[in-house]
Each structure stands twice: as C-alpha cells, then as structure tokens.
Structure 1
Amino acid sequence: MKLTIVSTSDIHAYLYPTDFTQKEMNLPLGLLKVSSFLKNISADEKLYIDNGDFIQGSPLASFVKDKVKTPRILSEFLNELHPVARVLGNHEFNYGVDYLKEAVEASTAPYLAANVLNTDGEPYFGTPYLVKDVGQFKVGIIGLTTQYIPHWENPENIKDFRFISAVEALRHWLPIVQASADFVVVSYHGGFEADPKTEKMLEKPTGENEGYQLLEQFEAIDVLFTGHQHGLYVGQHGKTFYSQPGHKGEYVAVVTLQIDEPTRTITDATIDLHHLTDVTEDLNLKAKVRPLEEQVEKWLDQPIGTVKTDMSITDPNKARLETHPYVTFINAVQSWATGCDISATALFNQKAPGFKGDITMRDIVINYIYTNTLAVLSVSGKDLVEALEQCAAFFTLSDGQITINPNYYIPKPQYYNYDMFSGIDYTFDISKPEGQRVVGLRYKGTPIDLKAPYEIVLNQYRAVGGGNFAMFGPEKIIREYGTDMTELIAQYIKEHPEVEVPAVHNFKVVY
C-alpha cells in the first residue's frame, strides 16, 4: 500500500496567489494552489495536516479580524482541503482566546495540542493526538506547539494557558500513541535548533525550537513535520523522515510511505518539498474565496492621505545604519498615539518599500506587516542601555565593512529584532566588543542616568520581552493601547493629510 502524508505550515491566511503588493497576481503560493496540488496527488491513501499559523499574518487576516470580526470563514476555507488534523501555531494566539476558540469550533479537523495545557495541566483543547484508520492500518498523529509563546504574546491572551516543552509532552504521549498505532506522525509548530544533517547548532537552545531534540530522542517517530522558522528542510534522520515547508503555502511537504501489509512495515519512502510553480488555482475554492478577496482588495485601495516627505526605502540595510525618515515617521506615530517621547521600532523585513506620495491602506500593510499593538513601559536607564547594546549586536564587521550579524538571518530571518530609537541620541561603534558599543547616549541633551526611570513605547511583542529582550517584560508595562498599528498609522495620516517628517539625525552606526 502507498500512504501519502502531506503537510503545510505557516500559511498565514494567504489564500489567493498574491502578496497584496498589487492586484491580480499569480505567484506560486497560497491556499488555492495548495488545494489544487492536493487534489492531484495519486495515492492509495492520503492524509493532510496543517501545521499552524493559519489565521494571522497577512492583510487578508487583518481584514478578517477588523472587519469580519470572526475567523470562522478562514477555518471554513481550510476545511475545503479536508485536513485530518490541525496544529496550533504561536500566531493563533495573537487575537485572543475567544477569537482562537471560534477558529477551533469552525474547524472540521481537530486541533492537536499535546503541550498546550489548561490551568489543571490537561490539554487545553482536549485533543493531544488522534489515531486515524487508514486501510487496515492505524496512523497516530501527535500535535505540538513551540513552548516559547509566553515570551512573545500579550499576557492577557494566554492567561489560562500553560505551555510545556515539546520534548516533555512527547515523552508522555508517544508511548500511548504507539500502543494503538502502527505508524506515528508528529506535527510540531516549532523549528530546528540544530541542523538535522550537520548537527551544527543554529541558535541558542532557548526551548523555542526543539525539532532536533525530537529527532535525537524519539526514534519511534516515523514522520516529523516542523514549521515556525519559515525554513526549508527535508531529509531523514535515523528512520524518521522530517520536513519544514517554508511559509505562505509556497511549498508542500509530501511523504510517501510504501507499506508491506503483512508485516506492517515501511519498505520504502520518499520525502519531498514541492514548490507550487506551474500549479493552477482550485477554481471551486476560488469561487468561494472570491467575495472576501474582492472586499480585501477594495479595502487595501482606500486612499488615506499624502506624505510630502519621501520615505522610500531603497536599501533596507543602509536604512538601519542611520536615521531614516520612514523609521522616524513610525516612531512619531507611536509617540503621537501614546504621549511617550522615547519610542523604538524596526524594519521588519527586507521588502518594506517605505512611503512616497499618495498613500493607501495597501501601502500601510505592506510596510507594517505585523498586527502589533503598543505598550508603554517604565524602564531604568540601565535597561535602556542594555536594550541598545542588544540592538548593536545586530551588526558585525566583515572585511572592514559593517554587515548584518548572521545570527539575525540564519536559520530564520529576524530583522524585526533590531530596533531603532527616537527621543534619544546615540551611536553604535561596531569596532568595540559586543556589550560596549553604545556611545554618546543622551536624553534631551543629558547623559542617561542608569538608575533613573524612563518611559518608552514599544510594540507589544517587544514590550513583553519578545526577541529575548530580557530587560523588558510585562511587569514593566504601565499602560497599553489596543488599536492595531496599521490602524494607528492610517488614523495619523488621515488627521495629518499632508505628512511631513522633519530631518532627524539622532543615531548612527560607525566603526
């Protein structure tokens, strides 16, 4: 018998083959093309698992949250692909537990979450695993999620949840599943802390990504699907086949097992990542999604106002080396919304084009890609210095030139973990050792007092310590603002219909 097991991960509500930068795109990504690909797979039996981060992360997802106000429609679209199981991603929690529960209730497939517990220590959604009858065999599927969610998420959104190590949870549940299944699949919304092929550590072992430990410690896993890092991994470790299929539905992970029926053993197997090049859209699903997509496109093309200052970003790396008008503008919006004069923000990726001329909602959401809200913290001068020193580690010297530290793009791009500050003056001297690079730090012309309190506005992710900014945290938050940053940017432009950004030169990076 030939059994095919398929996984997607980190689709982030990309349904149509578009990245929303313009209308009527036909990129090799999105749920419509994933659906078409699945329908064309030839197999005696086929199981499809979505590995999480489905209801958040695109302009369409933001529209559904703000205008439709329920994720049910997103769950219903994924139901059309007939998944046997779904897994919770970390971004499933971004809009609060009530929103998440609606997504779960609308799903025809169970959400598997063996290490996401309630306050009594039981699986919160009641379903840590399932055993699926496939012909004369039984396939056990265990769902796991990165335990690191409390380091990023608004505490209010997860107050009734406990997150434990994927390794700890699997140690408990794997023997139970083995006792009733012929084959075991683990779908883990987390990544690899070490390269499965070279065994080289990819990051500090914080517990955020435990995929390599799962491979090393649990030989009984037949197939391991991973995600979260948006990386591309495929291979075999011992007898375990593993994969990670990127994001936005650009790739689909496909494991095909040849099973000898009398002995109930795997005699041969292949594992591939299939890129959706040359795959057409599922026209039946397209017809169902089209009304929502048209609403989203109309919303994106709303005229908001005009910026008179050219905030175009032609070189994102250069824009991080000295004050850029786009960054100045975003910090100005944060300060305007909160009344806090020290602000920090980031260029979240390498694709933000900045602003120029007439602005629509599309311009806003393709620049500010995350659903952040704001929080104001009271921190010490020492905290502020430590945060700046951590940001200074974003850079390194290579052949006498300032370049980005590889730790910020391998194994996963983390450009969002370099913040640029307004309201203070400072310089990073990259010729100095890490931890000693901040020079000339002043607030209102006066050197920072390490013991004095300072108020600073940050996005919620950073405010609770996201990105391993241990000097911040929920205990230092003194007030919060629930309006999404994309809405705040739009509101600011509407109230200042011809935006001009003053030339500010408050920081620079030198060597």
Structure 2
Amino acid sequence: MKKQYLRRALASAMAVAMLAGLVPAALAAEGETHLTIIGTSDTHGNIWGYSYEDMKESSKDGLARVSTYVNQVRAENPNTILVDAGDTIQGTIMTDDLYSKDTAGHPVPAALNYMKYDAWTLGNHEFNFGVDKLKSILEQTDVPVLSANIKNADGSYLTGAGYTIVERGGVKVAIIGVTTPNIPRWDGTKQGVSDLTFEPMADSVAECIQEIGDKADVIMVSTHAGLEAEYSTDGSDAAQTILDKCPEVDVLQLGHTHTTYINNEKIPVGEVKSNAGEVVRYDLTLNADKEITTATVETVSMEGVEPDQGLRDVPAIKAAQEKTVSFIQDNVLGHAAADFQPTNEIKGLPEGRLQDTAVIDLIGTVQLENSGADVTAVALFKDTSNLKKGDLNYGNMFDIYKFPNVLYTVKVTGAEMKAYMEWAAACWNQWQEGDINISFNPDKPGYLHDHFIGLNYEVNLSKPAGERIENVTFQGKPLADDQVLTLCVNDYRYTGLKNEGIISGEKEWESPNSVRDMLVAYLAEHDPLQPTVDNNWKITGVDLSKDDPRRQEIINLINEGKLDTPYNKSYNLADYDALIAEAQSRNVIVDGNAFQVDSAVSSGLGDMVFYRLRDLAVAFNGTPAMFNVEWNGQVAITKGSEYTAASLAPRPEGSAIDYANITIQVDGVDVETSTLLIGGNYYVSADGLNALLGVSAVEADGVLTVTTK
C-alpha cells in the first residue's frame, strides 16, 4: 500500500486546496484526479424531512434534501463517493413504531439504494430492535454494510464485510467501517447482541489495512464514534486512537456525538449533527501517481435545499410516509384537559428538570401500573416535552417519550436505590451562595437525569454530588439500606446501571410492548387526561434570592435574549455589574438572541455602523441564515454552512479604518458591497448584510436587529 504523505510536503499548495471543492473533475490538471466524498451520519430515520411530532414538513433536514445535494455534486464531479456512518434505521415514529415491528418494505434501505450509497457503517442504534430485525433490514439493501469490529461467535463479520473498495476515476478508495464497541452497555439485553463480539476500533482498522495491502490508493475510515473516549480508558471507543495507531488512514469520518466538527491539520476529519441536517464533504486531489496532493473537509448545511421528489416517490418511501402520517393524524388518541408542563421562569431552563411535573408523573404512573414495581425512574428526554391542552395523537406520545424503550424490573436494596438516586442527582451543578438559578452539569446530559416515582425524597444542591439525596421514604417510612424494592427502569437504563455497578440484580420481567404503547393504552382509559403532580420530591439547600430585584432584572435580560441562558453555569449576584455591562455591550440581535460584535463607524459614510463579517458569521450559527465566510482570493460566503473558525479577538484601539467597495462571492455569485477594512477584516452594514444574505437587518442606535424567521 502506498503511504499518502506527499500533501504534507506541499504546504505552499494550500491556497489551491481551498479551491479544490469548486473544481470539477473535468477541469483538474492533466494527470490529476479530483475525488469528492460525501458523508452522512446519525440520520435517525429522517428520510422525508418531516417532523412527525408536529405533523409539519421541515425546511432544513432529511435524506430527500441530502439526495438533491448529492445529485448536484455528482453532476459536477462524477468521481463522488457517498458514505453513511450509522444510526440510520431508528429515530422517528416511522422507523420505531411501524417498521420496527414489521420490517417488510422498510423505507430506509429503499432510500439508501435510491441514493446509491457506496457504504453504510453500522451505528449503535441499529441494534435497538435486536439482531434478527437488523438483519432483515440489511437484506433489503444493495449497499455494502460494514462492521469491521463487530463479529459473530465464529469470528466472521456480522454484516459479512469490514471494508469495501470503491473505484472512481481510476482511484481505488478503501472504506473501513467501525462502530463504538459500547453497544452492549446500551443494548446488551436485546435479541442476539450477547452473541456478538465488539472489538476495539483501532485494532480492527489495523487488521483491515493489513488485509487491504496495496489494493487501494486511499484509505478512508467511517466510524460511528466520536474523536474522544466515551467510556474506555484504553481508547478502544475513541476515533483518535485510530489516527494514533493507523497512520495509513487518509480520511476519517466521525459520528455518534451529533456535533459539527472539522479538522484538516493532518488529514481531513469531519462529523455532522443528526437528522440529515448537514453533510460532511471531503475533497481530495491526487496526482498521476495517485498520491494525495491536497485534501480539505467542510460541512454543508441542507438549509433551503429542495427535497428530491424522486426519492420521495420511491414506492416504499411514499407508502411509508403516507402510512405514518395516517397513523398519526387519523387517530386522535384522547385529549389533555390542560397543559402538562409549567411555563419556564427563565428562557431555556426547563422546569421539567427543576420541579416535579405532570409529564414525569404521567410516565411514572404508567410504568408502575404496567410493571407492578414499587419504584420507577423517568427522564425528561427533551427539555421542551409537553402535552398541550386539546387533542392528542401519537406524535404527542413521541414528544414526551422519544425512544422505543421497553421496561425491565429488577430487585434492588435501599442502599442501591440511594446510590442510583445520587447518580441521577449529579446531573445538577452544586448551588453556590448568590446563584440566582439552578443549572445543569454539562458532563451529564438530560437523558441521564432520572426522577423517581414511588419514593419521597429531597435533593440538597448545596452539597457536592454523591451527598445530595436526603429524607428518602417509601410508603411513609424511611428507606432502610437493607430494604428490598422492585425497581422498574427502561432497558437502556438497566444496562447502564449494571455496567456502572450501581445495581447487581438480574432482570425479572420485560414488558411486551414499548413505553409509548403503554402511554397510548393509558390515554384510552383516562380520556380526558388530567395533569396531576404529587410533588414527591423537591430541591433543597438553595436560596435563589427571589426577593432581590437584581435577580429579576437579570432574568428579564435572559428572557429578552440579551444574556445567554445560564444552562450549564448559574448566574451569581456577585457578578451583577458585569452581567449588566455584558448585556449592554451586545449590539447584534438575531431572532431575539443578542451577541457582542465588533463594530465601527466611518466618518466618510456618516453615522452608518458596520459590523465585522466574521463576528456576524459566529452570531448567525444555528439560525436559518447561517453562513460560512472564508478567503479564496476574495471574500467568499457559503450560505447555509456553519462557521467553524475560531472567534476573532476585539480589534486593537486606534486601528486604521479604510473604506473598500469590494466584490464578495456568495454561493459562487459575485455581489458588490461597501465595506470597511480594519485590521485585515471586512465590516458590513445592515444594507450590505441584506444584499449578501437576503435577511431582514435594521440598524438603530448602533444595534443591529436581524430577523431570519
């Protein structure tokens, strides 16, 4: 096998590399080949581009939009490869509630076949429904499915392949697929999973590379894992270990963590968020000797891309969409007598994680009634989950319980129960004197934050994690450490608690249907559904200074979008002056959220205020008007792409200000605009921003208000 090190000796060619994504294969220099690799990951069954919870078409995600983009790229460059990095068959009502029960005519393999994927790496959620169901779905696809580190008992690959070799333009690209080996932690009890072996990813990649030998010119690894370790101490679940142990790798695709990430320092590495809202794109140029001379990576948003009607018209996909929509809208399951969640006091801080609410108590009641257990645990999987007053359909059930979990029961001691409760209580940060709000531990996401029904208890947040659970009672009496209870948890949590060593008992019972199905049955028997809260737990040890007017002033600024939501770190009254100053310094408001952006006024242009373009790119991230800005011999803007470069420092005092009328390339089209040039960076006015992005931007008193919705 050739070692692709030539690009490291061609630093002077990086300016050319920045243009590689714009050069069609036909325009490549003589003897050169330009390859484009498009990667998707964590699409989670979102084929159509549709929110079944809301019964609305989306505007920025779904494989139908990805298909349109892929078709465009293939038209520009026939040497295009399409790879998926897993978590593909789970995640919507369509996939989880209809086609997990009867996999015949499954829409996901139909979509992959239509789009002509070159490879599909398994994700951990591919195992949610058991190995037999997975295999029945895989039998419906023509795409090579890769599982280099997931093997049967006899040592053979689960899917029959660890890698595949794709040829484009005379260049042979080996694609190796590996998956986080943590699947037994989450789905170890699912049918067939315990019969499989999950090996360290880097070891499996190395084995494949040795087997590939000199049969490939380029080595790509598609991994359903993040760059850093998730649970391992030896790096077996970290993609970084692949880079460390396998220098032959030329391209690395990440998945699993639902984050946008690109890095082009040594080799191009990329990852995208979930639900097919963006793709990662790699552009490689190889010389006549098939050595890589340039390699770049970027993410491309699907915002505004028209869905591919051809994909939507595939019989299996069209039938699945119609079946799912009918399943939801044609079946009013019952009614909510009132809203089930209280209004958030502070924008973005969910009351459902700060107090007992009717949503949690409803799910807990249903779980206890179906399991006969003494105690059960429930997490608010989505901060905005609610049942609104009025008609309820299956989409509403999905909204409050987004995973296709079943229930298990297990015997636990009082000591184990308290340890579990302490584990869950670590999802909050410790309250400090002067904090005006409770905040959440960034290292423990919301889906790990369980609330407990069947016990009464207090959570003292003035104490450190591990010492917070107090006054636990069961049926009116203190819970003794040696007391035995029957605990009901979902299958995911059971496996996690066992692996953490928090509980030791074995599963005694498994529900025959999912939690969502139980909720539907309960609703049919309790229509209209009344929101009830038993307030069996509360937070103690905190004084949020609710009588201090400064607190309300800070909260008002948060709710107005002038201060960020203190989600992972509380605001403190000791920082009152600094917080007020920060809010006052924020001079750009995007869809109600305020940002501080470097601005300037040119005396030659009156009082017109200009704002640094790269700062605006940072502020626009995550909005419908998101854009990337870079220098390709001129300023180039790509609408719909995330800006991932580091934020710029404020310009030095006394920096020279020059007027410049320049041409900016917007999605390949030249747009002339007036700018200020300060310290090597361009600043644009509200009018200039409107011309460049087509948003509604208005400046008044130095504050730029931008509306994209």
Task: Indicate the TM-score class for this superposition, using the shorter chain for normalisation.
Answer: over 0.9
Aligned partners of 1:113, 1:164: CA distance in 2, in Å? 10
Deviates more, 1:62-71 or 1:336-345: 62-71
1:432 corresponds to 2:463: yes
Deviates more, 1:224-233 or 1:72-81: 72-81
* 2:443 pairs with one of 391, 397, 407: 407
Once the two structures are TM-superposed, the CA of residue 327 in structure 1 deviates from its matched residue by: 0.3
Aligned partners of 2:487, 2:148: CA distance in 1, in Å? 38
Contact in 1 for aligned 2:129/2:190 (Cα 8 Å): no
Aligned partners of 2:105, 2:186: CA distance in 1, in Å? 21
1:307 corresponds to 2:373: no
Instruction: State the percentage of identical aligned residues.
Output: 27
Query: Residue 48 of structure 1 aligns with which residue?
Result: 82
- One-letter amino acid of the structure 2 residue matched with residue 60 of structure 1: M
2:438 counterpart SS class: strand
Query: Residue 164 of structure 2 aligns with which residue?
Result: 130
- One-letter amino acid of the structure 1 residue matched with residue 472 of structure 2: L
Query: Residue 277 of structure 1 aligns with which residue?
Result: 303
1:500 corresponds to 2:530: yes
Aligned partners of 1:349, 1:298: CA distance in 2, in Å? 25
1:287 corresponds to 2:313: yes
Once the two structures are TM-superposed, the CA of residue 253 in structure 1 deviates from its matched residue by: 0.7
Contact in 1 for aligned 2:377/2:451 (Cα 8 Å): yes
RMSD: 2.0
1:26 corresponds to 2:54: no
Query: Residue 103 of structure 1 aligns with which residue?
Result: 137
Are the structure 2 counterparts of residues 274 and 467 from structure 1 closer, same or farther at C-alpha, using a change threshold of 3 Å? Answer: farther
Aligned partners of 1:502, 1:133: CA distance in 2, in Å? 61
Aligned partners of 2:499, 2:190: CA distance in 1, in Å? 19
* 2:383 pairs with one of 339, 346, 350: 350
Aligned partners of 1:64, 1:176: CA distance in 2, in Å? 40
Aligned partners of 1:498, 1:124: CA distance in 2, in Å? 48
Post-superposition Cα deviations, 1:232-281, rounded to whole Å, max 9, x if no partner, equal 1111242x2111111100011110101102x2211112211000012101
Aligned partners of 1:71, 1:404: CA distance in 2, in Å? 43
2:115 counterpart SS class: coil
Query: Residue 203 of structure 2 aligns with which residue?
Result: 168
- One-letter amino acid of the structure 2 residue matched with residue 257 of structure 1: L
Contact in 1 for aligned 2:180/2:225 (Cα 8 Å): yes
Post-superposition Cα deviations, 1:173-200, rounded to whole Å, max 9, x if no partner, equal 2222243211100000111227xxxxxx
Aligned partners of 2:478, 2:368: CA distance in 1, in Å? 21
- One-letter amino acid of the structure 1 residue matched with residue 200 of structure 2: S
Once the two structures are TM-superposed, the CA of residue 350 in structure 1 deviates from its matched residue by: 2.1
Once the two structures are TM-superposed, the CA of residue 65 in structure 1 deviates from its matched residue by: 2.4
Are the structure 2 counterparts of residues 35 and 172 from structure 1 closer, same or farther at C-alpha, using a change threshold of 3 Å? Answer: same
- One-letter amino acid of the structure 2 residue matched with residue 407 of structure 1: D
1:297 corresponds to 2:325: yes
Q: TM-score, normalised by structure 1?
A: 0.92
- One-letter amino acid of the structure 2 residue matched with residue 64 of structure 1: L
Contact in 1 for aligned 2:100/2:129 (Cα 8 Å): no
* 1:421 pairs with one of 437, 446, 452: 452
Query: Residue 487 of structure 2 aligns with which residue?
Result: 456
* 1:142 pairs with one of 176, 180, 200: 176
Aligned partners of 1:237, 1:442: CA distance in 2, in Å? 56
Aligned partners of 1:60, 1:449: CA distance in 2, in Å? 45
Contact in 2 for aligned 1:129/1:141 (Cα 8 Å): yes
Once the two structures are TM-superposed, the CA of residue 205 in structure 1 deviates from its matched residue by: 4.4
Contact in 1 for aligned 2:184/2:194 (Cα 8 Å): no
Query: Residue 422 of structure 2 aligns with which residue?
Result: 389
Query: Residue 199 of structure 1 aligns with which residue?
Result: none
* 1:257 pairs with one of 284, 305, 313: 284
Uncovered stretches (5+) of structure 1, i.e. residues with no partner: 195-201, 409-413
Once the two structures are TM-superposed, the CA of residue 218 in structure 1 deviates from its matched residue by: 2.1
Aligned partners of 1:434, 1:499: CA distance in 2, in Å? 36
Contact in 2 for aligned 1:10/1:52 (Cα 8 Å): yes
Aligned partners of 2:141, 2:185: CA distance in 1, in Å? 27
Query: Residue 502 of structure 2 aligns with which residue?
Result: 471
- Give the structure, 1 or 2, with the largest relative contact order (CA under 8 Å, sep 6 or more): 1
Are the structure 2 counterparts of residues 505 and 50 from structure 1 closer, same or farther at C-alpha, using a change threshold of 3 Å? Answer: same
2:502 counterpart SS class: coil
2:264 counterpart SS class: strand
Contact in 1 for aligned 2:149/2:198 (Cα 8 Å): yes
Once the two structures are TM-superposed, the CA of residue 59 in structure 1 deviates from its matched residue by: 1.3
Uncovered stretches (5+) of structure 2, i.e. residues with no partner: 1-32, 542-709
Q: Say which one has the larger Rg.
A: 2
Once the two structures are TM-superposed, the CA of residue 208 in structure 1 deviates from its matched residue by: 7.5
Post-superposition Cα deviations, 1:421-470, rounded to whole Å, max 9, x if no partner, equal 01001111111121111111111121212122210111110012269643
Are the structure 2 counterparts of residues 347 and 120 from structure 1 closer, same or farther at C-alpha, using a change threshold of 3 Å? Answer: same
1:64 corresponds to 2:104: no
Are the structure 2 counterparts of residues 104 and 375 from structure 1 closer, same or farther at C-alpha, using a change threshold of 3 Å? Answer: same
Contact in 1 for aligned 2:100/2:133 (Cα 8 Å): no
- Which stretches of structure 1, 4 residues or longer, exceed 6 Å deviation after superposition? none
Aligned partners of 2:242, 2:180: CA distance in 1, in Å? 12
1:37 corresponds to 2:69: yes
1:192 counterpart SS class: coil
Query: Residue 271 of structure 2 aligns with which residue?
Result: 244
Are the structure 2 counterparts of residues 349 and 192 from structure 1 closer, same or farther at C-alpha, using a change threshold of 3 Å? Answer: farther
Once the two structures are TM-superposed, the CA of residue 149 in structure 1 deviates from its matched residue by: 0.4
Aligned partners of 2:527, 2:351: CA distance in 1, in Å? 28
Aligned partners of 1:377, 1:206: CA distance in 2, in Å? 31
Post-superposition Cα deviations, 1:317-362, rounded to whole Å, max 9, x if no partner, equal 3221221111001000101111113111100022313343321112
Aligned partners of 2:51, 2:503: CA distance in 1, in Å? 33
1:266 corresponds to 2:292: yes
Query: Residue 26 of structure 2 aligns with which residue?
Result: none
Deviates more, 1:350-359 or 1:146-155: 350-359
- One-letter amino acid of the structure 2 residue matched with residue 235 of structure 1: N
- One-letter amino acid of the structure 1 residue matched with residue 350 of structure 2: N
Aligned partners of 2:497, 2:128: CA distance in 1, in Å? 13
1:477 counterpart SS class: coil
Aligned partners of 2:93, 2:236: CA distance in 1, in Å? 26
Once the two structures are TM-superposed, the CA of residue 472 in structure 1 deviates from its matched residue by: 3.5
Are the structure 2 counterparts of residues 71 and 463 from structure 1 closer, same or farther at C-alpha, using a change threshold of 3 Å? Answer: farther
* 1:229 pairs with one of 257, 272, 286: 257
Are the structure 2 counterparts of residues 343 and 103 from structure 1 closer, same or farther at C-alpha, using a change threshold of 3 Å? Answer: same
Once the two structures are TM-superposed, the CA of residue 306 in structure 1 deviates from its matched residue by: 2.0
Aligned partners of 2:235, 2:522: CA distance in 1, in Å? 39
Post-superposition Cα deviations, 1:389-411, rounded to whole Å, max 9, x if no partner, equal 11111011366242101113xxx
Contact in 1 for aligned 2:103/2:136 (Cα 8 Å): no
Query: Residue 114 of structure 1 aligns with which residue?
Result: 148
Once the two structures are TM-superposed, the CA of residue 212 in structure 1 deviates from its matched residue by: 1.9
